[in-house]
């Protein structure tokens, strides 16, 4: 494992500084019907505001996401769900009423409108594989009664798979395609998505969301539905919508992510795990051909992330906000590197895997206040927010001039639009010259400063007529320059 020295704490302060909006400061923490090559539009970065309530999402779209160049916001499931404080209650639907602990139908519609007015499109996390996992009858958040296989007015026993395996219908063997797609994921009542009635009902739910202005869907647990079933549901949608599907890669398993690319984009789960492993244990020089050469999905059909709400709870090599500087560096790389459509995670702090978002006694989600009350707001960390601007500026430009020291100092450009240097060594690298393709001029280092009205609040680096620049870079730190952040 790489040695982490006192320089890490210094880098954490520099890299995880806030991209300040409205005077916010840090407190105790880091300041379509066809498959798309990327989410539609010139700004393709998605931010996952995990378990934010609707008024908070609306404010974030208006005050920060739109102004800082985020193109899409992914919101948590909006349908009525079981009661409880855990995060996963939102993933156990009781009905398709748009009424949840995150807000009412009216609040949801207002949020979509506000985000659109800010230039931000809305992607909904859609739970269409299953209903609840509760054995005892109960009452959902909005008052709907239910039991495990009976949802009055929506589904009854015959609308679910009953696979008859393993004594409880649960999935045990992930090397058996039939079991994975016809048995129950952790006891969740598994919908028969091959049935016309179920397909019609699911499409009606998604069409209701489309009628409220939603722009796309993340299909939760897509691996547990045949790709053809998702295609049939998609064919029933009232208008084109962006789709990204959750299909977790498993070595040697019969169900592979590539099966689903005909429906839309697919999450490439190997990306975040491998990136975390390289940053934690290996050499950044290995990232020279990161992407399809690593047997990943084609770039134009891959949704990528450093972490998401599941992987940050699973441990292993995945990096999370708890990793501070190294996490910021990994996000900087993701936003600068031309593979896949990137999603930035926005978390709340948790001490146990099941812990839900900051809530009141009834379970209603509290307003998100960045950098307080548990809300981590990684999308506002200066390095991440400013690298969204970098990403938008260099979009479409090829990698140029890769250089590395054979270990953990790497540098590369994106045509003449941007240039990134990451020093993940345990020592500073001072006085070195870097050969970029940038046009001559003075550039704001957006890792450490913001560009406002042509002026930079941080270091300014000069690029000479030959594209050369020199920089002093602390251990576990970086420098990023782009054409949209020239000074003067």
Residues serving a catalytic function are 220, 246
Tally DSSP H helices, then E strands, for the chain: 10, 20
CB 254 within 8 A of CB 227: no
- Give the end-to-end CA distance of the chain in Å, rounded to a whole number: 43
Contacts (Cβ under 8 Å, ≥6 apart) of 129: 185, 188, 190, 191, 193, 220, 221, 222, 224, 225
Neighbours of 28 (CB within 10 A): 6
**Residue 412 in contact with residue 290, Cβ under 8 Å?**
no
CA dist 346 → 27, 65, 75, 472 (Å): 17, 12, 11, 31
Q: Spell out the long-range contacts of 244-252 with Cβ–Cβ below 8 A and sequence spacing 24 or more.
A: 244/39, 244/123, 244/216, 244/217, 244/218, 244/219, 244/303, 244/341, 245/218, 245/219, 246/218, 246/219, 246/220, 246/221, 246/222, 247/222, 247/223, 248/223, 250/174, 252/175
Q: State the CB neighbour count (10 A cutoff) for residue 349.
A: 14
């Amino acid at each position: 494992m790489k040695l982490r020295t006192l320089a890490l704490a210094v880098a954490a302060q520099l890299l995880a500084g806030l991209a300040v909006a409205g005077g916010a400061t840090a407190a105790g923490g880091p300041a379509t019907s066809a498959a798309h090559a990327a989410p539609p539009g010139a700004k393709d970065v998605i931010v996952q505001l995990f378990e934010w309530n609707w008024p908070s999402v609306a404010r974030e779209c208006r005050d920060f996401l739109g102004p800082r160049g985020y193109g899409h916001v992914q919101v948590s499931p909006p349908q009525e769900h079981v009661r409880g404080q855990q995060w996963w209650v939102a993933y156990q639907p009781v009905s398709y009423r748009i009424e949840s602990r995150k807000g009412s139908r009216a609040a949801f519609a207002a949020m979509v409108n506000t985000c659109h007015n800010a230039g931000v499109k809305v992607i909904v996390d859609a739970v269409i594989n299953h209903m609840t996992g509760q054995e005892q009858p109960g009452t959902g958040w909005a008052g709907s009664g239910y039991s495990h296989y009976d949802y009055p007015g929506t589904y009854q026993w015959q609308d679910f798979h009953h696979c008859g395996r393993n004594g409880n219908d649960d999935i045990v063997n992930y090397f058996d395609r039939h079991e994975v797609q016809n048995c129950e994921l952790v006891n969740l009542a598994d919908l028969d998505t091959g049935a016309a009635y179920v397909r019609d009902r699911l499409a009606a739910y998604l069409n209701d969301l489309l009628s409220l202005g939603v722009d796309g869907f993340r299909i939760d647990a897509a691996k547990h539905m045949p790709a053809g079933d998702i295609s049939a549901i998609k064919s029933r949608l009232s208008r084109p919508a962006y789709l990204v599907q959750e299909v977790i890669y498993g070595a040697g398993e019969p169900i592979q992510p590539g099966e689903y690319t005909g429906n839309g984009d697919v999450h490439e789960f190997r990306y975040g795990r491998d990136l975390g492993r390289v940053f934690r244990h290996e050499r950044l020089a290995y990232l020279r051909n990161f992407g399809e050469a690593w047997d990943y999905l084609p770039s134009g059909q891959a949704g990528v992330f450093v972490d998401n709400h599941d992987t940050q709870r699973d441990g292993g090599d995945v990096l999370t906000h708890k990793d501070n500087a190294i996490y910021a560096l990994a996000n900087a790389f993701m936003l600068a590197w031309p593979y896949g459509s990137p999603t930035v995670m926005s978390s709340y702090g948790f001490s146990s895997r099941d812990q839900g978002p900051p809530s009141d006694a009834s379970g209603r989600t509290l307003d998100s206040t960045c950098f307080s009350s548990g809300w981590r707001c990684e999308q506002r960390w200066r390095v991440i927010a400013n690298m969204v601007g970098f990403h938008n500026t260099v979009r479409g430009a090829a990698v140029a001039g890769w250089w590395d020291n054979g270990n953990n100092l790497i540098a590369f450009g994106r045509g003449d639009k941007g240039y990134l240097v990451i020093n993940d060594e345990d020592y500073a690298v001072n006085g070195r010259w870097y050969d970029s393709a940038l046009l001559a001029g003075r550039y704001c280092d957006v890792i450490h400063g913001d560009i406002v009205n042509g002026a930079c609040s941080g270091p300014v680096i000069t690029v000479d007529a030959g594209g050369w620049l020199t920089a002093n870079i602390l251990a576990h730190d970086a420098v990023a320059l782009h054409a949209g952040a020239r000074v003067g």
